[in-house]
A and B are shown apart, each in its own frame.
Chain A
Amino acid sequence: MSLDSKAIIAKRIAEELNDGDVVNLGVGIPTLVTSFLGDKQVYLQTENGLLGMGPRPPIDEVDPDIVDAGKSPVTITKGAAFFNSADSFGMIRGGHIDVAILGTLEIDKTGEIANWAVPNQPILGVGGAMDLVAGAKKVIVASLLFSKDGSPKLVDELTYKSSGERKVDLFVSEYAAFTFEKDGIHVIDIYGDLSIEELSKKLNLPLIDKTVQYNA
């Protein structure tokens, strides 16, 4: 089930991207989005200093000086540019990245996310997570709707530590896509095997059906 669910999320997010977008991808499901882009050309930015990131190289072509934000070897695409970390985060905070696609541990009913600190473990790593949340023009969250233990990730109030007060623009799960508006959580698209009423019951949260308006 897990691979299919993740592919559903990645495919749905790929629809949100526009030809020519500059995109920063978090680890996990976000990295799958590139498989569903079709003819659309996007430019991947990685916060350790590269715009124009390409796929992982064959093992005999690995260059340890060319890595992504997870320190894994990558390649560069035609027209790629390198820059230092201060410039890279200037791009991110300065609103020059069209879309950041991030994973999350939790997301609350207002669209605030917690994606860096796991409870009851030492909090010793944040990396670029908070900069991306604060600064990207559009933030899309890609995540399964429920944790391994079955608890919902979409919650009334965050129990994990917040990544910043900026609200995300879109949350895509394997059951539905959500936006966060003044009157509550909107379901703009549903494609899983649960109805909006069933989802609402499982999440214990009111959901507003906007699927017709959105797809009209």
Chain B
Amino acid sequence: MKKLVNIDKIEELVKDGDRILVGGFGATGSPLTILDKIARTNVKDLEIVSNNLGENGQGLHKVFVAGQIKKAVGSFFTINREAVMAWSRGELEIELLPQGTLAEAIRAGGAGIGGFYTKTAVGTELSKGKEIREIDGERYVFEKAIRGNVAVIKAAKADKLGNLTYYATARNFNPMMATAADIVIAEVDEIVDELDPEIIVTPHLYVDYIVQTGYKKERGAYVESR
């Protein structure tokens, strides 16, 4: 299986200044093993696109604590207290988008759409400086699509070609992110011989590399299995 790589491969794939799309909603559906690896490299000045910056000290939180993030684009950073403090000290740039706008911008980025008009956030601080257009009597704000140099995502199962399935609400941003970056790396719980074509969510053409997760679920939390 050509796409299956050792976690050390991450060192070659992620570079200084990269814009990285990171799947997950908090720790749920977040590629924790890949993020742990990134946090152990010397890569810096990353621009992270993710709903928030990790949770309970896991995932992106470790990358943030390692001082590798220059800018974060997402919808909810209030729960990341250290990030809020770094922002107020001017050490972290933050771009806030409504959650639905974030999801749609990534979807558009992967689908060859340059941008879109949404009614969300019209008349608020988050549409300031952006183009407003009236369509059929309703006001919409223009939002640009989002793409990354790299996407790191989490899936439940991969087959030998790299087709992916997801589990429960761990799906969240992962399927869109799989479509919207030059290099897509999927962390998976299980690698199987074959998947039922009816249940595949991310077809293999989107996926460049697969790594086996180093986490398991135990007593309602994600814990390292090694």
Contacts and interface: CB of A to CB of B under 8 A. Distances in A.
B100 A93 contact: yes
* A: contact size bracket: 35 or more
B98 A128 contact: yes
Interface of A: 46-50, 59-60, 62-67, 71, 73, 76, 82-86, 88-90, 92-93, 117, 122-131, 134-135, 161-166
Nearest to A127: B76
A138 B52 CA distance: 28
Interface string B174-203: 111000000000000000000000000100
A128 B122 contact: no
Contacts of B78: 124-125
A169 to B, nearest CB: 16
Interface in B27-41: 27-29
9 contacts: A48-B25, A65-B170, A82-B166, A82-B169, A85-B25, A131-B101, A134-B121, A135-B119, A162-B125
Given A65-B217, A84-B175, A161-B125, A125 B26 contact: no
Interface of B: 25-29, 51-52, 55, 75-79, 83-84, 87-88, 94, 96-104, 106-107, 118-126, 139, 166-176, 201, 217, 219-222
A67 B99 contact: no
Contacts of B125: 117, 123, 161-162
Contacts of A76: 168
A85 B201 CA distance: 13
A111 to B, nearest CB: 13
A86 B76 CA distance: 16
Given A85-B51, A86-B104, 9 more contacts: A48-B25, A66-B168, A89-B100, A90-B100, A90-B104, A93-B119, A124-B96, A128-B99, A164-B122
Contact of A128 (B100, B123, B201): B100
A122 B103 contact: no
Q: Enumerate the 8 nearest inter-chain pairs by beta-carbon distance, A residue then B residue, closest first.
A: A89-B100, A62-B220, A125-B78, A165-B123, A131-B100, A85-B103, A124-B77, A65-B170
B120 A93 contact: yes
A130 B75 CA distance: 11
B18 to A, nearest CB: 22
A126 B84 CA distance: 14
B171 A49 contact: yes
B28 A67 contact: yes
A47 B168 CA distance: 13
